[in-house]
Structure formats: C-alpha cells, structure tokens
C-alpha cells in the first residue's frame, strides 16, 4: 500500500490584501513548520519523495520542516484567491469578504461563480480541478510514501475529489483546515482512500493551543 501525505503551509501573512503580500510565512508559520518537521522525524517514517508548490510560503514550510531534496511542482500552488475575490467584488458585490468569518459564505459563492464562468481568475475552474487530479495520480505510487507541501484549497479539492463532494461540501471542509496540518491518503488496489484529515499532532500540547491557526 502506498501513502500520500498532504501538508498545508504554515501561517502566512493574513493581513495582506493581495497574492504577493500574503505569500510569506509569519514567525508563527515558521515555528509551526519546525514543530511539524521535528514531530515527523520523531514519530513518522521516511518519505520516498517530497514535493512542494512553487509559492514562497510552501517552499519555506518544506524547508522549515527540514527537507532538502524538494521537488518543486507548481500544480500544488494555491488558488489565486485574492484575484478571484477582486473579480467577485465586481460580479457580486453583496457577497462580502470583510473578515475571516465571511469565508464560509464567500468561498462557495466564489467557487460557483468561477465554475460557471462568471469570473475568470488566472486559470479556469476546470484547469484547477484537473491539476489536483494530476497531483493525486502522480502521488498515488503503490508501495511509496509521497509528501506534498501545498495549500488549503488544494487539500480541500483533493478530499472533495476522493469523496465526490459538492462545492458547498468542499467549502465546509476547507474552512477549518489548520496551518501546517497533515492529511493522509492510502493508495490501495481499490483506489485512493482518505485516511486522516486535518491532524496536527505537533500542536497537540497545552502550551501550543494558540498556535492552532487556519488563516
């Protein structure tokens, strides 16, 4: 049996107003990555290959976890959500995104508008779904353990594809995904199966409660 492990990057600059400004880890994000790497070294097996998206926050997370031989694959890059949000503000100004609390409504509305072609983004919704499918197919190597450092939108879409979830259901699982969280899939003769979702063993300590972030 093979195994795919997806890790969301550490906390990024959530005070940003555009893609470039968001794309760097905060000091806590660097700490989350370090803690996860230490936990994996102490408790987890080795990986046959490690991939990371080309975004700065993904590369910083993989490096902070202690991995050196990282294969960069831009298919692991996050949705350009700030760009989509800017288009959404023009298409549907009543759908607000004024605070993180609005995300659970804004996200599915935005994805539906993107899917239906009302907003364009930097790629089509179909192309986004295709690249996530490609990543899952690439990583589903029988007998191999593959680690991919990526982002919440990619993880939510991967889970949605495996479990055949609708966009509203995908949005529900995207909202609580923690920074530096771990998500595992088992690769079997019957297909790829979700085994673990949103685990954070490196943060399961009383003095790390405030380090559990999802923004």
Question: Buried (b) or exposed (e) across 139-177, using 16+ Cβ within 10 A?
Answer: bbeeeebbbbbbbbbbbbbbbbeeeebebeebbebbeeb
Residue 106 lies in a domain: no
Locate 80 and state its tokens.
């350009």
Question: How far is 19 from 193, CA to CA, in rounded Å?
Answer: 32
Which domain range does residue 171 map to?
A: 2-79+130-211
Q: What's the CATH number where 48 sits?
A: 3.40.50.1240
CA 129 to chain centre: 14
pLDDT at 193: 97
Question: How far is 33 from 114, CA to CA, in rounded Å?
Answer: 32
How many domains, in total, are found in the chain?
1
Splitting the chain (215 residues) into consecutive groups of 10 residues, what average pLDDT does each group show?
97 89 96 98 95 98 95 98 94 82 87 97 97 98 97 98 96 95 96 97 96 93
pTM over 0.85: yes
User: 44 with 199: CB under 8 angstroms?
Assistant: no
Residue 156 lies in a domain: yes
Residue 15 lies in a domain: yes
Residue 151 lies in a domain: yes
């Amino acid at each position: 049996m093979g195994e795919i492990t997806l890790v969301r990057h550490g906390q990024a600059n959530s005070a940003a107003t555009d893609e470039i400004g968001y794309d760097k880890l905060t000091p806590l994000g660097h700490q989350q990555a370090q803690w996860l790497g230490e936990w994996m070294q102490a408790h987890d097996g080795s990986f046959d290959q490690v991939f990371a998206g080309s975004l700065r926050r993904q590369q910083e997370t993989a490096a902070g976890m202690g991995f050196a031989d990282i294969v960069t694959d831009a298919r692991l890059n996050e949705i350009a959500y700030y760009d989509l949000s800017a288009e959404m503000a023009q298409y549907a100004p009543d759908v607000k995104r004024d605070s993180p609390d609005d995300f659970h409504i804004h996200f599915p509305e935005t994805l539906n508008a993107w899917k239906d072609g009302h907003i364009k983004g930097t790629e089509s919704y179909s192309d986004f779904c295709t690249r996530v499918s490609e990543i899952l197919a690439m990583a589903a190597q029988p007998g191999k353990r593959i680690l991919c450092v990526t982002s919440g939108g990619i993880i939510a879409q991967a889970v949605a594809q495996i479990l055949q979830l609708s966009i509203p259901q995908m949005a529900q699982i995207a909202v609580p995904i923690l920074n530096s969280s771990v998500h595992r899939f088992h690769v079997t003769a019957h297909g790829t199966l979700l085994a673990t979702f949103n685990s954070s063993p490196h943060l399961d300590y009383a003095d790390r409660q405030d380090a559990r972030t999802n923004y």
